[in-house]
Amino acid sequence: MQSTRSRLFAFTIFLCLGLSVQAGAQETRLKWFGHSAFSITTPNGKVLLIDPWLRNPTNPEAKDKRDPLASLTKVDYILLTHGHRDHVGDAVEIARKTGAVLICNPELAGNLVKLADFPAKQADTDAIMGIGGEIQIADGEVMVAMTSAVHSSSVFNPKAGPNEAERAYGGNPAGFVIVIKNGPTIYHSGDTAYFKDMETIGESYAIDVALLNIGGHFGMEPRMAAKAAQSLRTRLAVPHHFGTFPGITQNADGFAAELKTLKIAFYEMKPGETVSFRGRQMLPAKTTTSGRQTGD
Ligand SMILES: [Zn+2]
């Protein structure tokens, strides 16, 4: 009798522990490193890095001569929207350090291998894709769709010289829709200008969070970025690509005001901040000072 009771007790503890681990595991984490660099950690613990310029001047982990790559141990995938330096960023070094697989267009992948010594094996997999394509990654936990972007794409050539151009072909620029099982659907705009066909992206995917470039000059000005949020039918708009260097918009106030008139929810992350999602729902931010939130 006693042993049955203790077995039952042990089983109950086991069940409770299991459930609590399960509950924690159901969260998706989204971190912003400043500029256009984000990481997504899925409920199963896979890590995706998008446009990883981690050594950008707004990343708190890069301040005081600290190296933001030092603490980066696990990265499974690196997604690049296009070849410009503020988006390729530290991708080569991160790939070498972590073994991460590259997701981008074939021309960009080829030239990163050829010109920047990106590890060839990690850039030559079935994760190389084109606009309009959808791929399953992370053992089927994540679907990545590559979407159009109106911008340009070239790869900086560190081997440039008198007979070699400073910029090489980087294929077409892109955006990504990332659909996470038991998590949110996240859109990353890259550096695109507004285009009317964003409505088709919004019709094709139920976007929970749109990460939108708002800095203007090289991409969308805040007013058009708000229009993009509307066309994409996103539940929440999060700004990026601003305040990093001269020439682009320095804060998100104008974007927030435009979204307010359109009644679209807005959340401004601070560089270095992580937000979590349970299922498709963003959990309340842990600190009230770290971000501004409007809408529902
Ligand atoms: Zn850019």
From the CA of 289, how far away is ligand 1's center (Å)? 27
From the CA of 271, how far away is ligand 1's center (Å)? 16
Residues with Cβ within 8 Å of residue 18, at least 6 apart in sequence:
none
From the CA of 286, how far away is ligand 1's center (Å)? 29
From the CA of 225, how far away is ligand 1's center (Å)? 14
The number of CA neighbours under 13 Å toward the Cβ of 207 is 32
pLDDT of residue 17: 44
> CA-to-CA distance for 21 and 227, rounded, in angstroms?
40
Per-residue model confidence as pLDDT tens digits over 217-264: 999 999 999 999 999 999 999 999 999 999 999 999 999 999 999 999
Cα Dmax for the chain: 87
From the CA of 24, how far away is ligand 1's center (Å)? 34
pLDDT of residue 294: 63
**Beta carbons of 27 and 184 less than 8 angstroms apart:** no
> CA-to-CA distance for 58 and 246, rounded, in angstroms?
13
Burial level of 114, CB count in 10 A (0-12/13-18/19+)?
middle
Beta bridge partners of 281: 278
Tell me the average pLDDT across 162-167. Answer: 88
Q: Is 1's pLDDT higher than 50?
A: no
From the CA of 88, how far away is ligand 1's center (Å)? 10
Instruction: Give the end-to-end CA distance of the chain in Å, rounded to a whole number.
Output: 54
pLDDT-based confidence at residue 295 (cuts at 50, 70, 90):
low
Burial state string for 164-180 with b = 16 or more CB within 10 A and e = fewer than 16: eeebbebbbbbbbbbbb
From the CA of 8, how far away is ligand 1's center (Å)? 58
Beta bridge partners of 38: 32, 50
Burial state string for 124-136 with b = 16 or more CB within 10 A and e = fewer than 16: beebbbeeeeeee
> CA-to-CA distance for 204 and 226, rounded, in angstroms?
19
pLDDT of residue 165: 87
**Beta carbons of 113 and 120 less than 8 angstroms apart:** yes
Strands of 181-258 (E only): list them: 185-188, 209-213, 236-240
From the CA of 49, how far away is ligand 1's center (Å)? 16
Q: What angle do CA 80, 274, 67 make, to 5 degrees?
A: 65
From the CA of 25, how far away is ligand 1's center (Å)? 33
Q: Is 203's pLDDT higher than 80?
A: yes
Strands of the chain (E only): list them: 27-32, 38-41, 47-50, 77-79, 101-103, 134-137, 142-148, 154-156, 167-169, 174-180, 185-188, 209-213, 236-240, 265-268, 274-278, 281-282, 292-294
From the CA of 26, how far away is ligand 1's center (Å)? 32
Global confidence as pTM: 0.90
Percentage of the chain surpassing pLDDT 70? 88
From the CA of 157, how far away is ligand 1's center (Å)? 17
pLDDT-based confidence at residue 79 (cuts at 50, 70, 90):
very high
From the CA of 57, how far away is ligand 1's center (Å)? 14
Per-residue model confidence as pLDDT tens digits over 274-285: 999 999 999 987
* Backbone CA torsion sign across 65, 55, 142, 265: positive
Tell me the average pLDDT across 52-56. Answer: 98
From the CA of 34, how far away is ligand 1's center (Å)? 12
From the CA of 6, how far away is ligand 1's center (Å)? 61
From the CA of 269, how far away is ligand 1's center (Å)? 18
pLDDT of residue 291: 56
pLDDT of residue 110: 98
What residues are neighbours of ligand 1 (ion), with CB under 5 Å? 86, 191
pLDDT-based confidence at residue 21 (cuts at 50, 70, 90):
very low
From the CA of 191, how far away is ligand 1's center (Å)? 5
Q: Tokens at residue 89, please?
A: 């960023």
Q: Is 145's pLDDT higher than 50?
A: yes
Tell me the average pLDDT across 198-223. Answer: 98
From the CA of 174, how far away is ligand 1's center (Å)? 12
Per-residue model confidence as pLDDT tens digits over 122-142: 999 999 999 999 999 999 999
Q: Is 156's pLDDT higher than 50?
A: yes
From the CA of 218, how far away is ligand 1's center (Å)? 7
From the CA of 188, how far away is ligand 1's center (Å)? 12
pLDDT-based confidence at residue 159 (cuts at 50, 70, 90):
confident
Per-residue model confidence as pLDDT tens digits over 22-44: 445 589 999 999 999 999 999 99
From the CA of 219, how far away is ligand 1's center (Å)? 8
Q: Is 13's pLDDT higher than 70?
A: no
